[in-house]
Each structure stands twice: as C-alpha cells, then as structure tokens.
C-alpha cells in the first residue's frame, strides 16, 4: 500500500504520490479517453488517490475524462481543479468572484460532482488583492462546493497574506531535481502554515523518464517543442548532465522516475508530487 500523506493541516489523507491530469488534454500529443481511463485505472491499482486537473486543460476536456471515469468509481479519488486563466480572446488572468464562480460551477458539471476537494487559483490576478480572492474561495467552501483553498505558483509572502484570511490547504508549483526555485522560501512557508506543497512536473516533463526523451519524435502538438530546455543547444547539454544521474540510479537498481519522485518526497512530509 502506498504511503499516505495529509493534504494540508486538516485535509484528507491521500496517497503520497498523486496524478497530474494535464496530459489527458493532449499537451504532449493527441487526447485519447481510452488511454486516460487506462491511466486512471492503473493509478487506482498503484494506490494513487489524488487527481489534479484544471479548466484550462483542453478547455475542460481533462475534467470531462475524469468525470466519465469516476462515475463508475465513486469515492475513490480526491479531486483538485483550478481556475483563473482566461484564453479567449487573449490570454489573461481573472480572479473576480463572478468568473471564479462560473468556472467552478462548470468544473463541477464536467466532473459530475457537487463539490471538489480542493480548488486552486491557477494564476494570480494582480488587479485584485489576494485577501479578497481568498475571501471568495472561503465563501465557496462555506457553501460546500469546495473542501479546501489552493494557489498555484504563488510567492511565499502572498501565501502568508492569503493564510491570514483563511487556511490554505495546498500550494502548487513546479519542483524537481532540475527546478529548485521553491526551496527559496515557498516550501518552508508551506510547512510553517500547515499547507501541503504539491510539486508538478517532478520528473521534469519527461527528462527523468524511463528513457531519455527524443525531441526528434515529439508530436507536433507537444508543448515541449517550445520549451527552451528542450531546444538546442540546451537540450544536449541537459542530456549530458542527466546521464550522470541515470548512471547513479542504474547502479543501484532504481529507475530514473523512481529516483526523481523519491527525491521530491524526501524534501518534506508535506510534499505530495503529481507526476503526469
């Protein structure tokens, strides 16, 4: 059985490793509901109990795929979703009460549930004080529509301000052996406030996969085709550095993804990584 960790100070116990569901929307290639459902079934088998999705993942497609699966597997997962990024007509951030409520109601419909366990602000809208945004989320919680409040990619001081209004269940940020910025205060602030830290991309967007990624075979829809770390000359330099780590793992009989995720888990018992 997978180790269990608490999602925030008073949140539910979940598997120490969750599942990020952005890939269900086709960001690495085509979207395939059969593949998504096979992934969810395997996750259940392995003891994964926490799913992370967002409105922006395929404009709700990831949520719809999850909703179709959990209809036949009720109560097996805790679910987190996110809102706050508007893509049409131009990309912007919107944390207004009306927009967040509309987004949340849409997410609940697509997921086929009457509440989600965790609702994140996907990105901060700098025109609205974070205290006001937190107050909006607190009202959703009072209404029973969400179990906890979360923020994605937030600064430590902003988190502290939000927590002065209402406890924050979780904070999400990219974190792995090759993305270490959260160590400059965010992980520590989460620990102090009793907030779970949920690292996304713990296997470095595939760089720490079972085999090294081959950029020549990336699908034309793969968002990594525009990521500087996967473009030359950076990509070849990164492969050389990671090769040493692969040798280290292989010499001990470990897979590269297992090493990468284990390292993240070892950084604190309030960390719940979400590869996917």
CATH of the domain at 53: 3.20.20.100
Give 191's contacts (C-beta < 8 A, 6+ positions apart): 197, 268, 270
In a domain, 250, yes or no: no
The reported pTM is 0.95
Burial of 188-220, coded b for 16+ CB within 10 Å and e otherwise, reads: ebbeebbbbbbbbbbbbbbbbeeebbebeebee
Q: Is residue 225 part of a domain?
A: no
- Residue 276 is assigned to a structural domain of this protein: no
Token pair 């967040």 in the structure block, residue: 100
The torsion angles phi and psi of 148, rounded to 5 degrees, stand at -160, 165
Closest CA to 144 of 100, 108, 106: 108
| Structure tokens, 228 | 């500087």
Q: Two tokens at 270?
A: 């309030």
Instruction: Return the bridge partners of 179, or none.
Output: 176
238 located within any domain: no
The dihedral over CA atoms of 239, 244, 248, 249, expressed in degrees to the nearest 10, equals 0
Contacts of 2 (CB under 8 A, 6+ apart): 15, 16, 17, 46, 47, 48
In total, how many domains does the chain have?
1
Nearest to 7 by CA among 49, 46, 40: 49
pLDDT for the residue numbered 243: 94
Query: What is the residue range of 174's domain?
Result: 4-204+257-265
For residue 274, tell me if it sits in a domain: no
Whole-number pLDDT of residue 31: 82
Q: What is the dihedral of CA 94, 123, 22, 249, to 10 degrees?
A: 180
In a domain, 27, yes or no: yes
Residue 128 lies in a domain: yes
Best CA proximity match to 13, nearest among 137, 169, 162, 193:
169
CA neighbours closer than 13 Å in the CB half-sphere of residue 68: 13
Asked if residue 68 belongs to a domain, the reply is yes
Active site amino acids: 57
Return averaged pLDDT per consecutive 10 residues of the chain, 276 residues in all: 95 98 85 94 97 96 98 96 93 97 98 98 97 99 99 98 98 97 98 99 94 84 85 92 94 97 98 97
Question: Which residues are within 8 A (CB) of 141 and not within 5 positions of it... i.e. 6 or more apart?
Answer: 147, 148, 149, 166
The pLDDT assigned to 225 comes to 86
């Amino acid at each position: 059985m997978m180790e269990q960790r608490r999602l925030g100070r008073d949140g539910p116990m979940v598997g120490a490793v969750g599942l990020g569901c952005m890939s269900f929307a086709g960001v690495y290639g085509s979207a395939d509901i059969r593949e998504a459902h096979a992934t969810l079934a395997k996750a259940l088998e392995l003891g994964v109990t926490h799913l992370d999705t967002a409105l922006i993942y395929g404009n709700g497609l990831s949520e719809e795929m999850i909703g179709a699966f959990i209809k036949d597997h009720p109560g097996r997962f805790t679910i987190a979703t996110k809102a706050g990024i508007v893509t049409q007509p131009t990309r912007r951030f919107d944390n207004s009460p009306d927009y967040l409520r509309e987004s949340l109601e849409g997410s609940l419909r697509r997921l086929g549930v009457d509440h989600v366990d965790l609702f994140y602000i996907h990105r901060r809208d700098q025109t609205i004080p974070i205290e006001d945004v937190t107050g909006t989320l607190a009202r959703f919680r009072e209404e029973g529509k969400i179990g906890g409040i979360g923020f994605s990619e937030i600064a430590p001081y902003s988190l502290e301000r939000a927590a002065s209004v209402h406890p924050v269940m979780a904070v999400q940020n990219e974190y792995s052996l090759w993305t270490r910025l959260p160590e400059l205060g965010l992980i520590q602030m989460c620990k102090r406030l009793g907030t779970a830290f949920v690292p996304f991309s713990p296997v470095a967007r595939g760089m720490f996969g079972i085999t090294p990624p081959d950029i020549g075979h990336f699908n034309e829809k793969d968002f990594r085709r525009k990521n500087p770390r996967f473009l030359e000359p950076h990509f070849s330099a990164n492969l050389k550095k990671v090769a040493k780590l692969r040798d280290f793992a292989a010499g001990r009989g470990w897979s590269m993804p297992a090493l990468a995720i284990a390292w993240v888990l070892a950084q604190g018992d309030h960390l719940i990584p979400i590869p996917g």
